[in-house]
Amino acid sequence: MSDLKKIKVLKVILGTYTDKATGAEKKRYLEIGGLFQDSNSGDFKIKIDSLPVMKGGWDGWANAYELKEYAPNKPFNQGNEDMDQSIPF
């Protein structure tokens, strides 16, 4: 059995939007799957999790980006120690 390791994320550009803070036009991305490498054979494999639905149809192109390391979220009650505890509700 193959041992697959995810090495890239696959994303497509769905369109653009205007950043309210800066007024700059930015691209809107959708993650559609991943690029994996088989540790036994070295072969690359693509796993598509979703197909984009967009105006005009998808042209079939996807971009491969590096994986991002995400810090775990703080539990809900952490980070609020300095808030006033006398709020009457």
Tally the domains of the chain.
1
Provide the Cα torsion 68, 69, 75, 79; round to 10°.
Answer: -90
Structure tokens at 63: 């971009």
Q: Residue 44 forms beta bridges with which residues? A: 37
Confidence of residue 2 (pLDDT cuts 50, 70, 90): confident
CA nearest neighbour of 10 among 52, 55, 71, 39: 52
> What is the reported pLDDT for 1?
57
Residue 21 domain boundaries: 4-65
Global pTM value: 0.70
CA nearest neighbour of 48 among 73, 12, 18: 12
